Amino acid sequence: MSQEVLSPRSPRGDELLKAAGHAGVVWAGLFALGIGLGVVVTAHGLPWWLAPLISGVLFAGSVEFILIGMLSAGASVPAIALTTFLVNSRHLFYGLSFPLDRVGSRIGKSYSMFALCDEAYALITALDEQALSSRRILWTQFGLHLSWVAGATAGGLAGASFLSGLKGLDFVLIAMFLVLTIDTYRSRPDRRGAALAVTAALVALVLVPGAMVLVAMCGYTVTLVARHYVTRVPHTRPQASHA
In tens, the pLDDT along 92-108 reads 778 878 999 999 899 99
Confidence check: pLDDT of 6 > 60 = no
- Provide the residue type at 17 as one letter: L
Coil, strand, or helix at residue 149? helix
pLDDT band at 140 (very low <50, low <70, confident <90, very high): very high
Cα–Cα dist 131/150, whole Å:
27
Cα–Cα dist 7/100, whole Å:
11
Cα–Cα dist 143/20, whole Å:
8
* CA of residue 232 relative to chain centroid, distance: 28
Cα–Cα dist 137/125, whole Å:
10
Cα–Cα dist 193/187, whole Å:
14
Average pLDDT over residues 185-201: 84
Cα–Cα dist 174/65, whole Å:
10
pLDDT of residue 177: 65
pLDDT of residue 197: 87
